[in-house]
Amino acid sequence: MTLYPIYYDTETTGIKPDKDRIIELAAYNPETGQTFCELINPQMPIPKEASSVHNITDEMVQNSPSFKVVGQAFIDFCGSGAVLIAHNNDAFDKNFLEAEYRRSDLEIPAWRYVDSLKWARKYRHDLPKHALQFLREVYNISPNQAHRALDDVMVLYSIFSQMIDDLPIETVLNLMSTPSKLGKMPFGKHQGKPLSEIPKDYIKWLGKSGAFDKAENKDLMEAFEKLGLLSSV
């Protein structure tokens, strides 16, 4: 099967996939130039704090289709060979997407995924931050309407296509599946310091704060484990 990239993004009513809902789903296929963008009626009120982020209101989605309708249209748009790329995909977008498909009794294709946030953290250790809007500035991408799905998708495409240069999507998948050789602290007050020199009380604090429970910090936790630093805190 021929694989091809699809950049996508979701806007939601909150941050919990089991309780919250997707209210906007957008995607871009760089090989065809086609875009996908649909508002979705979540069949629940949109909290004010969520609207303050993406500016999507109850009135905007009241006549929009359900996820079951949009979800099927998204499958048709992506096809079966899609590699879905999103920023913070593994900890957010993928979880919401799969939760919505389960609720709608739709069978999700065996898509593959790339988390561009993980890629940035893995291969751009020189950067102090890896948030989408920070990367936009690093790569000199024009400002967008942040936190609206299609705008974020197009910014992500502009950023990630520069980050991977001319690498085929199959190579990107292989590189992301290669165990990280993380040697330095990627964030926080000890950023850039060799992991072997990180104070034990700081590692303990990371564990208690839930940092190691986040999908994007799995490589860091495994690196500390290999150094024997988790068992001693």
Same domain, 73 and 163: yes
- Whose tokens are 């109850």? That residue is 58
Find the mean pLDDT for residues 176-198.
Answer: 84
pLDDT value of residue 134: 93
Give residue 172's pLDDT band: very low, low, confident or very high (50, 70, 90): very high
Q: Same domain for 82 and 165?
A: yes
Rounded (5°) CA angle 42-44-50: 80
Those residues whose C-beta lies under 8 Å from the C-beta of residue 12, and which sit 6 or more positions away, are 20, 21, 22, 23, 50, 96
Structure confidence at residue 186 (pLDDT): 84
Average pLDDT over residues 189-215: 88
| CATH at 73 | 3.30.420.10
Q: Which domain holds residue 124?
A: 4-177
Q: Give the per-residue pLDDT at 191.
A: 87
Comparing 4 with 185, which gets the higher pLDDT? 4
Nearest to 25 by CA among 14, 49, 41: 41
Q: What is the mean pLDDT of residues 106-117?
A: 95
> Would the pLDDT of 90 be above 70?
yes
Of 132, 153, 177, which residue is a domain's last? 177
Q: Please check whether residues 163 and 84 belong to one and the same domain.
A: yes
Domain boundary among 162, 177, 192: 177
In a shared domain, residues 69 and 147: yes
Q: Helix (H, G, I), strand (E, B), or coil: what is residue 134?
A: helix
pLDDT for position 220: 86
Greater confidence (231 vs 176) lies with 176
Q: Provide the 3-class DSSP secondary structure of residue 218.
A: helix
Total count of domains within the chain: 2
Strand partners of residue 115: 86
pLDDT exceeds cutoff 50 at 233: no
Query: What is the distance between the alpha carbons of residues 56 and 21, in angstroms, rounded to a whole number?
Result: 13
144 and 197 co-located in one domain: no
* 151 and 200 co-located in one domain: no
- Confidence class for position 137, pLDDT limits 50, 70, 90: very high
Q: What is the pLDDT of residue 148?
A: 81
Query: Rounded CA gap, 130 and 187, in Å?
Result: 10
Q: What pLDDT score was predicted for residue 1?
A: 85
Same domain, yes or no: 230 and 146 = no
Instruction: Please check the confidence at residue 215 and state whether its pLDDT lies above 70.
Output: no
Catalytic annotation present for 147: yes
Annotated catalytic residue: which of 54, 87, 130, 147? 147
- For residues 93 and 144, membership in a common domain is answered with yes
Higher pLDDT, 136 or 124: 136
On the CB side of 71, CA atoms within 13 Å amount to 22
78 & 188 share domain: no
Q: Are residues 47 and 159 in the same domain?
A: yes
One domain for residues 139 and 222? no
Query: pLDDT exceeding 90 applies to what percent of the chain?
Result: 70
Instruction: State the Cα–Cα distance between residues 127 and 121, nearest whole angstrom.
Output: 8
In the block, tokens 């942040």 appear at 146
Highest mean pLDDT out of 14-23, 173-182, 203-212: 14-23
- Max CA separation in the chain (angstroms): 56
What is the rounded distance in angstroms from the CA atom of residue 85 to the CA atom of residue 89?
A: 7
Q: Among 15, 39, 35, 18, which Cα is nearest to 27's?
A: 35
User: Quick one: 68 and 165 in the same domain?
Assistant: yes
Of 52-56, 177-181, 185-189, which range is least confident?
A: 177-181
